[in-house]
Structure 1
């Protein structure tokens, strides 16, 4: 879990340091803008942006029952963030598995990607798709 928060914490610390430097030189407005920018970046790269993750086994069980895709992801991944943002509200209808929290999920991703932990890996009907187009994933959600 600590690894998932490393990048967001570093972004907040860098933003705070830069803002403090600007504030000391008298550029209060620039300091506020810089800090807000770094806080937004930290939020976008945090696990908070994604719906609650479940374990790989639970996600596979749920997917078998409802036919919805399983998305294997990790915090800090720009492609995972792109998928999440482009899915919009439909992201809650997908089963999300954080591979940094779930070793079984990481194993599924490695098996689908020749030993690499390439994410997002989306599994639909037992078939893995690495970094698919978000529009295609949305199509898989039509009921």
Structure 2
């Protein structure tokens, strides 16, 4: 649920402010406010990321197909930067939301010296904490 807290607060605030603008007779202002609050709400929500799987499932799939595992959490600006720099190639990795999967969070802590530093990418069994998106794009299978 905490992954949705900030996006829901943004969306609710935007709706309230837009309703005030609309009641004041400014439909254009209401539309601008909805866009200004709605876009960040979507970007900071889990909707901006490929579907998450569990840590165990990601490890199983990665062993079978050689794709990297990306550990992330909603609201993380570094995860968002990685996701958008990868573009459509992001689908060629297995994504694990550490807020939804305690085993995933434990894997990140093991890789990052006890911290839950995300994004953490595991490629061929080797963890890389907050890797350069261009480097990761080059490592993704075609």
TM-score range (shorter-chain normalised) is over 0.9
Helix, strand or coil: the match of 2:96? Answer: strand
Q: Which residue of 2 aligns with 1:37?
A: 36
Aligned pairs for 1:1-143 (under 5 A) are 2-143=1-142
| Contact 2:52/2:95 (8 A) holds in 1 | yes
By how many angstroms is 1:37 displaced?
Answer: 1.7
- Return 5+ residue gaps in structure 2 as ranges: none
Helix, strand or coil: the match of 2:71? Answer: strand
Helix, strand or coil: the match of 1:68? Answer: coil
* TM-score w.r.t. length of structure 2: 0.93
Provide the rounded CA distance (Å) in 2 between the counterparts of 1:35 and 1:48.
18
RMSD over aligned Cα, in angstroms? Answer: 1.3
By how many angstroms is 1:66 displaced?
Answer: 1.3
Give CA-to-partner distance per residue, 1:43-79, whole Å, 9 cap, x none: 1111111111111111111111111110000111111
The number of residues matched between the two structures is 142
- Return 5+ residue gaps in structure 1 as ranges: none
Helix, strand or coil: the match of 2:51? Answer: coil
Provide the rounded CA distance (Å) in 1 between the counterparts of 2:34 and 2:138.
38
Provide the rounded CA distance (Å) in 1 between the counterparts of 2:26 and 2:100.
41
